[in-house]
Amino acid sequence: MRYYLSQENFFTQKAKEEGYPARSVYKLQEIDRKFGIFQEGNAVLDLGGAPGSWLLYISKKVGPKGRVVGVDLEDFKIEMPANSVFLKKSVFDEQLRADIGVFNVVASDLAPGTTGLHEKDVADCLELTQRAFEIACQTLEAGGSFVCKIFQGADVDDFIKEVGKSFKTVKRYRPQAIRRGSREFYLIAKNFIHSGILTYSKCLL
């Protein structure tokens, strides 16, 4: 039991020591190391980014020439880096797309408030993930990447097939920092197949 508890608490303690507000940063870090998501100078959209761990990590990776736009209904609990901005908006706000610009990467850690009812939690998470995918298709440059959280369950396989129509490679991945027993995993989609229609020229930085 002591081993189990130490494994569960390891990433939480590490986040505190390294100045991140949540353990979720190590999920993204592992994904980035394995798949090479973020590059210096990238423009990145961080959906569902509160309390701010992902944005802190991404802002360091893209550097001063990059930019990061964080979107959430909850406030970020961090000092915003110079290359980043925060929009307190719902991802379902139709004005959002006009406010954010064009990106190299869209990263989504969107998740619903869980109820303990598996089918409902999966459906609610999938609704958010589908919205993140829609935003990615509307804002990504050709060759861009999309990373999103998913709960395994009904209709998820069909969604992944749909994502595969817009990206050259799509992979499932489960980082070590995910809690034991969770049905959570991440979808990593790379090399966006650009439709040739991007009209969002506004830049927040």
Residues in the chain: 205
Which of 27, 61, 149, 190 is an active site residue? Answer: 149
3-state secondary structure the chain: CHHHHHHHHHHHHHHHHHCCCCCCHHHHHHHHHHHCCCCCCCEEEEECCCCCHHHHHHHHHHCCCCEEEEEECCCCCCCCCCCEEEEECCCCCCCHHHHHCCEEEEEECCCCCCCCCHHHHHHHHHHHHHHHHHHHHHHEEEEEEEEEEEECCCCHHHHHHHHHCCEEEEEEECCCCCCCCCCEEEEEEEEECCCCCCCCCCCCC
Is 88 tagged catalytic? no
Q: β-strands 167-173, 184-192: how paired?
A: antiparallel
Q: Which residues are catalytic?
A: 149
